[in-house]
């Protein structure tokens, strides 16, 4: 049952492809034979060829040991590194303080500006209310003394009414 599919496929190939198929098959078989001849089978290593492990030494402990970054360096180099770390730490602290001060000053400046703007807004509101009150009072007087006072557009209305009545412009 297995060979049926391959036989049909070979019969359906053209003669040129059959020749090429045969040469590729021969090349693959030759390569497999070469690999099998050259290959060495797996074997146990001989004991003499195994490299010996480096023997570990017993670690030495210091009773007065303190954990420091610079314990292996010379004293002058260690001191220099320590001072540089201290300078860096101080610099970061100073930058942090300056940032906090700048934020505080900005908040205070914004608060002062807001208070000044609120004061100016209150003055404008007061002035506008006074002007509206004056305009209302004037308009009320115009309505009461119809002929005595002119304002709030009353003279324009009167002249327009006169033009409509007489058809003439002006007071004559």
Q: Given this model, what pLDDT does residue 28 score?
A: 96
Q: Given this model, what pLDDT does residue 1 score?
A: 44
Which of 163, 165, 164, 139 minimizes the C-alpha distance to 153?
Answer: 139
* Euclidean distance between CA atoms 51 and 41, whole angstroms: 22
Task: Look at 11 and 27; give whichever has higher pLDDT.
Answer: 27
Q: Is residue 84 part of a domain?
A: yes
Q: Given this model, what pLDDT does residue 105 score?
A: 96
Whether 142 and 151 have beta carbons less than 8 Å apart is answered as yes
Mean pLDDT of 98-124: 97
**CB burial readout 96-117, b (16+ within 10 A) else e:** eeeeeeeeeeeeeeeeeeeeee
Q: Given this model, what pLDDT does residue 78 score?
A: 85
Whether residue 141 is predicted with pLDDT greater than 80 in this model: the reply is: yes
* Euclidean distance between CA atoms 84 and 100, whole angstroms: 24
Domain count, the chain: 1
Q: Given this model, what pLDDT does residue 142 score?
A: 80
* Euclidean distance between CA atoms 133 and 62, whole angstroms: 94
Percent with pLDDT over 90 in the chain? 40
pLDDT in tens, 53-108: 667 677 776 777 666 666 677 888 888 989 999 999 999 999 999 999 999 999 99
The separation between the first and the last C-alpha atoms of the chain, rounded to the nearest angstrom, is 131
Whether 115 and 103 have beta carbons less than 8 Å apart is answered as no
Indicate the average pLDDT of the chain.
Answer: 81
List the domain range (segments joined by +) for residue 95: 74-146
């Amino acid at each position: 049952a297995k060979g049926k599919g391959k036989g049909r496929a070979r019969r359906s190939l053209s003669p040129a492809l059959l020749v090429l198929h045969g040469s590729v098959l021969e090349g693959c078989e030759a390569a497999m034979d070469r690999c099998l001849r050259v290959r060495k089978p797996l074997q146990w290593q001989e004991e003499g060829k195994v490299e010996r492990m480096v023997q570990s030494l017993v670690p030495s402990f210091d009773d007065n040991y303190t954990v420091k970054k610079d314990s292996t360096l010379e004293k002058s180099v260690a001191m220099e590194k320590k001072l540089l770390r201290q300078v860096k730490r101080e610099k970061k602290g100073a930058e942090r303080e300056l940032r906090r001060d700048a934020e505080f000053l900005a908040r205070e400046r914004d608060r002062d500006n807001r208070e000044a703007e609120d004061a100016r807004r209150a003055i404008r509101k007061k002035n506008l209310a006074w002007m509206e009150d004056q305009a209302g009072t004037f308009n009320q007087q115009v309505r009461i003394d119809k002929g005595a006072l002119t304002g709030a557009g009353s003279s324009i209305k009167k002249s327009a009414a006169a033009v409509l009545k007489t058809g003439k412009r002006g007071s004559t």
